[in-house]
Structure 1
């Protein structure tokens, strides 16, 4: 593999070093999603975007497929073989709700900017969670844990009420909120929406329905 990165570095006219390519591939696999809008990820995204075909070829033997959304400026890596350790039921249910909220936000024209994110404060999240699942939003400690997992999947960014970059954005909750990130459409495909719709018609039998939820679309386990 080193020779592969060496060749790419040698043909980059001094723009990149060998380690830049190995780091980009490593970040893509460990983070699953790399966003250009994230300050510390811009160089990594640039390498993946420019050398997508080469990086995809290098990761293919590992059973990882690579893609780049050049409109919303993010790169992603998806395992071709699902992990034997699936997401937990609370993680899966939370992710499905986020997927539904993202689609609803797009239809309502709530996309924040060219990053393609949908902003949701905790008041709205609580209401939508209850509406979509028939259950109460988990308490703060558990909720923050779910958000951290979703962040590792590359589908959420945590927002604080006092963040300076949120000026002009309507955040009603004193606890801030979340930004649902566009790669959620890749990480959680169309079958996730079907699962959410099915849940909505069966949430009166909550315990039985939760046992039937399939976590295949959240095939990235909590790595930490």
Structure 2
């Protein structure tokens, strides 16, 4: 059994209050990925990084695996079992598209500190080509979708460089690699293939109906 947070805190010369540990556990469970670069998450990240074994044991009680990435300085709580997330089809497809785009940026060596910066129109085009569906046309609606990705530690909207004509860019965060694996990317291809079969079947049905 994991030791109590009170006992662990008493042995830490910096984070010597029980609340640091309880807050860190709550934050990683609810947000999935904590980044040292995020000021709001930094304390919890540091607490977990200093006590990996204790947090690994605590998360295991909820069937979560603790992943530590020292290259890009984040920690993640990954479900061991497949769990249903309250996501719409559009949100699910967006996650898979972002993961595929991140994979492509890795292959081309185009990451900046582990992050991939994507323009709105670039995302719209990739989403259309990969899913045969459309993202919302309004930037505000897309920003709302990206905000949900941020809650999962996968992506976030960021300010654009001066002179840009678009309201924001999308940064895909490195934690998406641990949250969405290669098998999930393959499922995107399977989904699109199934969609095309349905569309072709519908086209054939329409032709049959028009045949005298």
Taking structure 2 as the reference length, the TM-score comes to 0.83
- Residue among 119, 122, 127 paired with 1:121: 119
For residues 4 and 173 of structure 1, do their structure 2 counterparts lie closer, same or farther at Cα, with a shift above 3 Å needed? farther
CA contact (8 A) 1:100 1:196 kept: no
Runs (5+) with no aligned partner, structure 1? 209-224
Helix, strand or coil: the match of 2:66?
strand
1:147 match: 146
2:171 match: 179
CA shift for structure 1 position 12: 0.9
Worse overlay, 33-42 or 78-87: 78-87
1:70 match: 70
Deviating beyond 3 angstroms after TM superposition, the runs of 4 or more aligned structure 1 residues are 81-86, 199-203, 205-208
1:51 match: 51
CA shift for structure 1 position 3: 6.3
Q: Distance in 1 between matches of 2:197 and 2:169?
A: 30
CA contact (8 A) 1:32 1:153 kept: yes
For residues 132 and 3 of structure 1, do their structure 2 counterparts lie closer, same or farther at Cα, with a shift above 3 Å needed? closer
Q: Distance in 2 between matches of 1:207 and 1:192?
A: 23
Across the aligned residues of Structure 1 and Structure 2, the Cα RMSD in angstroms comes to 2.5
Q: Distance in 2 between matches of 1:135 and 1:27?
A: 34
Runs (5+) with no aligned partner, structure 2? 201-212
For residues 194 and 33 of structure 1, do their structure 2 counterparts lie closer, same or farther at Cα, with a shift above 3 Å needed? same
Q: How many residues end up aligned between the 2 structures?
A: 199
- Structure having the higher Rg: 2
Name which structure has the greater RCO, CA cutoff 8 Å, separation 6+: 1
